[in-house]
Structure formats: C-alpha cells, structure tokens
Amino acid sequence: MGSRRGGGTMLAEAPSLSRPKFGRLLGSDPSFAFRKANEEDESTGYTSNRNSSASSFSAENSPYEMSPWNNPTSPFAKSPWTAQTTAAAIPGSTPSQFDSFPHHHGLICSLVREEGHIYSLAASGDLLYTGSDSKNIRVWKNQKDFSGFKSNSGLVKAIVVSSKENKIFTGHQDGKIRVWKVSEKNPSVHKRIGTLPKMTDYIKSSIKPSNYVQVRRNRNALWIKHFDAVSCLSLDEEEGLLYSGSWDKTMKVWRISDAKCLESINAHEDAVNSVVVSGGADGLVFTGSADGTAKAWRREYTAKGATKHTLEQTLLRQESAVTSLAISPSKSFLYCGSSDGLVNFWARAKAQLSHGGALRGHKQAVLCLAAAGNLLFSGSADKTICVWRRDAGLHTCLAVLTGHNGPVKCLAVERDQEQREGREEGDEDLRWILYSGSLDKSVKVWRVSEQSPDFQQHQRY
C-alpha cells in the first residue's frame, strides 16, 4: 500500500523489509544501567507534600537523546494539524482550558512533581496513577495532587487498576508485582495488601526441586517469580486473570482471587516489552519483545482450572524491537509500535488477523500506544504524540501533540466526563482526555476530539 501526505493526511504504508538495528537498544528501558535487586519492602500510604530526591538519570542523557538519529525539530512542527502547546509546566496542577476550541485538540494542564521520570500511567474515572523512578506512585484527582503511596524498592514500570476487585497492581524493576487497595475509611490512603507471588506460595514451591528452572548459566530460580524487571501488566477482568511480562523473557499468568501463579510461558528470546489481552471468548493474548517479534497466544484451561497458553501466530518478525501493543476497543484491530518509528497494525476478520500496513508518523522509536473509540495515540522518543483516526480501515493523522521536553514513555486515556454528562442528542463527536507521561518528569493532560476542525475537507483514499 502506498503512502501519500498532503492536507494533513498520512495513510498506512506497507513496512519496509529492512529494519535499522539501532532500535535494538531502544526496545529495553533507558534506565537499564540502574537495574537492582532489592529485598522486599514495607510499604505505607502517604500524603506528604515533601518532594522526593530526583534520580541522577535525566532525559537529556537518555539513549534516545544521544542517538545520532535524534533531530530536535519535528517534521510536523510547521504542520497546520500540530497542536502547539504554549502553557508552561508548573508544580501541581493549574488548568489552562482552551475554551475557544472545545471540539479540537489542546493541552488542558501539566502535572509536575519533582519525583523522577514518569514510566507508567493508569487512569480510572477521575483518578490518575503515575509511577516513576522515585519508587513512588502518585494519585491525582481531577488534575490535582490527591495522595500517594510508596514502595521502598523497585522503579515503577507498570500500573493497572482493577475496578472490579478494587485493587491496584504495580510492576517493578526488582521483579516484583505489588498489590494495593484503597482504604474504605480514607480514600486517599492506599495500603499494600500483598506481593506476587505470595510469600507462602514462594516458600511452598521452594521445597520441590522440580519448581526450579535455569534462568542463566549457573543460576536457577523458581518458575513462579520473575527474576528480572516486570516491564508490563495487563488485566482480563472477565476471567479474573492478571498477565505480567518481564525482561526475563517470560509471560506469567496470575489468578487475581487467590494471587496464585497459574502459568509461566517462555514467550520470547529477549525482554518482553508489552502484553495485552483481547478479552472475551477467543482467549487471545498478545506479546511484543525486544527480539523484534509480536506473537499471539491462545488461552485454554486444564481440568484442574489452570491456564494453558499455546502459540497461535507470530505476527511480526523484524530487526527492530517491539516496544508497545494496543487493541482497539472493538477488538477488531491490533497495533504494534517499534523502535524504528513505525506502528504496524492488523485487522481481525473472523478468527484471522491480517496485516493491514504501517503508520508512519514518528522520526524515532514509538515507546507507547493507547486506543480509545476510533482513535489511536502513539507516543515517541521524538517527544511527540500522534493522534490517528481509524475510518473503515483507513488511518488518518488528525494531530501531532507537542510540548514534552523528553521522550513520551506512557499514555492513558479516558472519556471526557464533561461531555459524558452534557452530551447533546445527535452530537457524534466523541472527546477524550489523554494523559502522557514523559522522561521530562511531567504528565500532560490533553483534550482530544475524534473530529479535526476541517476533517470533512480531508482527501480520502
């Protein structure tokens, strides 16, 4: 499929057969030099306003910024579809509503707290959870600093929220998954209620030699525990399952009800960077890795109630690392971001996934993806966010959001509550609140519309 640009439209383009090897490093986290294995911590909730000391690692010294490919000038800087953000990032949260453009794309505010580079986000209703290399998880409510809770070991690399179980799961650099619950008496207090795997399961498993697997030369470890950083988490609330991916090349499956590890899959030949669950009856799970592959796994259940995942299809095999995955809410499209700056996508037809092409909107590695409605958001090491609209399989870039001073590491999106409450009959324009976390230590909050100002004037292909 060809590519044409003009009038702000960028179409899907078939990916090139060659892939630059530069992206291999980018598939892993830029903080690779700071890996540590610490002992279990005693975690408590806190609401103190005292700032944590900043990490010695800075966005300016990240591999992305030292790359010879890095060009501070975005090709979209002069595009009429670029949403230029002029609001300065300030401590706390000071809204700056673009009331004159309620239906377009614009920056609402910047959330800044000097606690380190932002590596993970999770949005749930009016709450936003942010994880950083300060080991703290901040909680923001209605774009204001609400509370926080801390873990004394392990950079926070992934956060997911289970609204059904009223629990928060966090994945850490030390290979542990921590479980938190909101206090019923005080909603600003979050208490740690456990760690995966549970200590009792760990001790019980350690007795049997058959529970040990070789993880490195001259080193064995229990199969129920990640021995390297937990890089990604994904929930299947319908099935009551939590999936975790790690730099140890495995994907593990956890039953939420009893915190039991049901299965460990040797998924890839290099670090697992992303895992997403499609949910529903098909039982498909997708993983992406620094080894350059994206895979689809089929879930089944054994007679004893454990899970068994088998490889259904290798969707992508390339030189560049796969950094992120996302599934459209309709479950009809799968998106895959990689360190070569492309977003490959697949369309589902019945039980098959067919490759639809690649979206070209970034000059550097795509680090994160998020999907909502008919929109796809891609964040990149080039410090920008592309907003893509899907229409009958055709993808159009509606806007390029600029304003971050460092790589965009994570994204989260929620429906615009103001529109949800006051939406007029016949209003077909859906609006979303997008959160973007960056290695510049800030989170930016955007209002994004599914319609661009002159969308009807776009040339359609």
**Which of 354 and 451 is assigned the larger pLDDT?**
354
Answer whether residue 78 shows pLDDT above 60: no
424 part of a folded domain: no
Over residues 219-245, the mean pLDDT reads 94
Does the pLDDT at position 153 exceed 70? yes
- Could you write out the DSSP letters of every residue in 351-419? TEEEEEEEEE--SS-EEEEEEETTEEEEEETTS-EEEEEEETTEEEEEEEE---SS-EEEEEEEE-HHH
Residue 249: predicted pLDDT: 96
401 vs 36, which has greater pLDDT?
401
The answer to the question of residue 331 being in a domain is yes
In a domain, 417, yes or no: no
Quote the pLDDT of residue 452: 62
Residue 454 lies in a domain: no
pLDDT in tens, 254-307: 999 999 999 999 999 999 999 999 876 678 999 999 999 999 999 999 888 889
pLDDT score recorded for residue 26 = 43
Cα separation, 259 vs 203, in Å, equals 14
Report the CATH number at residue 259: 2.130.10.10
- Domain hosting 187: range is 5-80+113-411
- Please give the residue that has the higher pLDDT: either 58 or 413: 413
CA dihedral in degrees (423, 426, 427, 430; nearest 10)? 90
Question: Which whole number is the average pLDDT over 337-342?
Answer: 97
Residue of higher predicted confidence among 135 and 99: 135
Number of domains into which the chain is organized? 1
Sign of CA pseudo-dihedral 181, 183, 187, 189? negative
Under a CB-based contact definition with an 8 Å cutoff, are residues 74 and 382 in contact? Answer: yes
Q: Is residue 102 part of a domain?
A: no
Confidence label for 165 from pLDDT (cuts 50, 70 and 90): confident
pLDDT for 429 equals: 72
Please report whether residue 201 resides in a domain: yes
Decide if 50 contacts 91 (C-beta within 8 A). Answer: no
**Residue with the two structure tokens 């873990």:** 151
Highest mean pLDDT among 3-17, 18-32, 447-461: 447-461
> b/e string for 331-369 if b means 16 or more Cβ within 10 A?
eebbbbbbbbbbbbbbbbeeeebeebbbbbbbbbbbbbb
Percent of the chain scoring above 70 in pLDDT: 73
Q: How far apart are CA 389 and CA 176, in angstroms?
A: 37
Mean pLDDT lowest among 68-82, 136-150, 236-250: 68-82
Q: Is the pLDDT of residue 226 over 70?
A: yes
Does residue 423 lie in a domain region?
no
Residues 375-426: tens digit of each pLDDT: 999 999 999 999 999 988 799 999 999 999 999 999 999 998 776 555 555 5
Q: Pick the more confident residue, 99 or 406.
A: 406
Say if 88 falls within a structural domain.
Answer: no
Q: What is the pLDDT of residue 453?
A: 54
Q: What is the pLDDT of residue 19?
A: 42
The confidence score (pLDDT) of residue 458 equals 34
Region of 135 (left: φ > 0; alpha: ψ -120 to 50; beta: rest) is left
Mean pLDDT of 10-21: 42
Q: Which residue has the higher pLDDT, 129 or 53?
A: 129
Kindly state the tokens that stand for 238.
Answer: 């319908």
Cα–Cα distance list, 17 to 10, 14, 21, 126, 346 (Å): 20, 9, 13, 44, 17
- Strand partners for 293: 317
Q: How high is the mean pLDDT of the chain?
A: 78
C-alpha to C-alpha distance for 171 and 185, rounded to whole angstroms: 26
